[in-house]
Amino acid sequence: MKAIRYHQVGGPEVLRLEEVPEPVAGPGEVRIRVRAAGVNFADTERRRGLYDSKVPLPRILGSEAAGVVESVGAGVDASWVGRRVVALAKQSYAELVTAPEQELLALPERVSFEEAAGLLVQGLTAWHLVHTVGRVTERQSVLIHAAAGGVGLLAIQLAKAAGARVLGTVSTEAKARLARELGADEVLLYGEGDVAEQVRALTGGQGVELVLDSVGASTWKSSLEALAPFGHLVSYGSASGAPPPVDVEALYEKSLKVSAYWLHTRHPPALQRQARETLGRELAEGRLQVRAGLVLDLAEAAEAHRQLEGRGTAGKVVLRVP
Ligand SMILES: NC(=O)c1ccc[n+]([C@@H]2O[C@H](COP(=O)([O-])OP(=O)(O)OC[C@H]3O[C@@H](n4cnc5c(N)ncnc54)[C@H](OP(=O)(O)O)[C@@H]3O)[C@@H](O)[C@H]2O)c1
């Protein structure tokens, strides 16, 4: 089969379309013919050697796929064959991928493979940020950085559905329009004034109860300054570089809380199932939108990475597998 591999870490040019052996579904697994593979910011960090760097090379990238079940391994219900599914699945920048049966989410016809490929990594992250970690409730104010990104647009929708007032930050006016379209109440452009000051002005001087920060180095200071007393800053990424070490003394004045979220932490299985099934249902019934902002062919993975790490994308980046 064909897959996107890299043999050394580096720029997008290290990604190559190659002929590789087909994966085989082991016990408890299915093999999926991939129709769309999700591209995530972390894939660009893996490729650069900044994340998950102990995995041996050459390596096929990818962590989620939507497609059709082609075959099943030992112990798996054969009725999965032929069904449209999406799953968290490693090495998904490929024509075929394997995934555990218990990870599968069946897709109704009305959900496209492109939309589904944007649901799990970013959707589960957004869901746990809003519900499990952020515990967003009605009338709270939430500030979401990189609000027009894949996680950002989903987090906006989930926080709004929980009854919050949502503020976002983005780098361009086009991204601001998209964030507003998906429900953000206020969107600020970096570089147009002090973000924390603007947040305070928009919240009657109070600040927000929750900040979701995936940008790190360049947003950290304003994230802390934008919080209301007893506010909570959740760090879940470092697109601009790692944030500085937490200065606990500096948290006292407003009794602040700083925490982190990682999708690869071992989650209680029932909680993960609830999150996955809720996301699937919300998408299928039209209450949640996945915006595939950039859809390219598998062979164009390097260009997808270039645009994603160059801040040129809004919404989800997807590789279509012909
Ligand atoms: N903790 C977890 O388990 C977990 C899971 C999934 C994703 N993440 C993290 O969540 C973030 C969003 O992931 P995503 O896949 O949805 O990506 P994304 O938000 O679609 O793309 C990244 C966005 O980050 C913003 N950004 C700010 N400073 C940047 C910089 N210096 N370089 C590049 N981008 C910068 C850009 O938006 P603007 O142009 O608007 O600034 C860019 O579009 C990433 O940091 C990712 O690592 C974490």
Confidence of residue 60 (pLDDT cuts 50, 70, 90): very high
Strand pairing report for 84-88 and 105-106: antiparallel
Task: Report the phi/psi class of residue 207: left, alpha or beta, with left for phi > 0 and alpha for psi in -120 to 50.
Answer: left
Distance (angstroms) between ligand 1 centre and the Cα of 149 equals 6
Whether the pTM exceeds 0.95: the reply is yes
Confidence of residue 235 (pLDDT cuts 50, 70, 90): very high
Residue type, 15: L
How far apart, in whole angstroms, are the C-alpha atoms of residue 46 and residue 49?
Answer: 5
How far apart, in whole angstroms, are the C-alpha atoms of residue 142 and residue 127?
Answer: 14
Distance (angstroms) between ligand 1 centre and the Cα of 237 equals 7
132, HSE (Cβ side, Cα atoms, 13 Å): 20
Q: What is the pLDDT of residues 133-159, one digit of tens each?
A: 999 999 999 999 999 999 999 999 999
Q: What is the pLDDT of residues 11-20, one digit of tens each?
A: 999 999 999 9
How far apart, in whole angstroms, are the C-alpha atoms of residue 115 and residue 138?
Answer: 28
Confidence of residue 217 (pLDDT cuts 50, 70, 90): very high
Atom 7 (ligand 1) nearest CA = 122
The answer to the question of residue 98 being in a domain is yes
* 52 pLDDT above the threshold of 90: no
Q: What is the pLDDT of residues 81-104, one digit of tens each?
A: 999 999 999 999 999 999 999 999
Q: How far is CA 290 from CA 221, 253, 282, 297, 318, in A?
A: 30, 39, 11, 19, 11
Q: What is the pLDDT of residues 266-294, one digit of tens each?
A: 999 999 999 999 999 999 999 999 999 99
Q: Where are the beta strands (DSSP E) in the chain?
A: 2-6, 16-19, 29-39, 59-60, 64-72, 84-88, 96-100, 105-106, 141-144, 165-170, 186-189, 208-213, 227-235, 257-260, 292-297, 316-320
Q: Which tokens sit at 235? A: 């760090």
* 191 pLDDT above the threshold of 90: no
How far apart, in whole angstroms, are the C-alpha atoms of residue 97 and residue 177?
Answer: 36
Are the CB atoms for 94 and 62 separated by under 8 Å? yes
Which mutation among 130, 144, 151 tests ligand 1's pocket best, with the greatest number of atoms within 8 A of CB? 151
Which mutation among 39, 41, 132, 189 tests ligand 1's pocket best, with the greatest number of atoms within 8 A of CB? 41
Strand pairing report for 29-39 and 96-100: antiparallel
Residues 6+ apart with CB under 8 A from 229: 207, 254, 255
Mean pLDDT of the chain: 97
Residue type, 130: V
Distance (angstroms) between ligand 1 centre and the Cα of 23 equals 30
Looking at the fold, whether 252 and 126 belong to one and the same domain comes out as: yes
Percent of the chain with pLDDT over 90: 97
Q: Which tokens sit at 199? A: 């947040």
The answer to the question of residue 267 being in a domain is no
Q: Which residues form the domain of 155?
A: 122-260
Asked whether the bond before 58 is cis by omega within 30 degrees of 0, the reply is: yes
The answer to the question of residue 280 being in a domain is no
Report the CATH number at residue 176. Answer: 3.40.50.720
Report the CATH number at residue 294. Answer: 3.90.180.10
Domain's final residue, options 260, 280, 299: 260
The answer to the question of residue 130 being in a domain is yes
The answer to the question of residue 106 being in a domain is yes
Per-residue pLDDT at 21 = 98
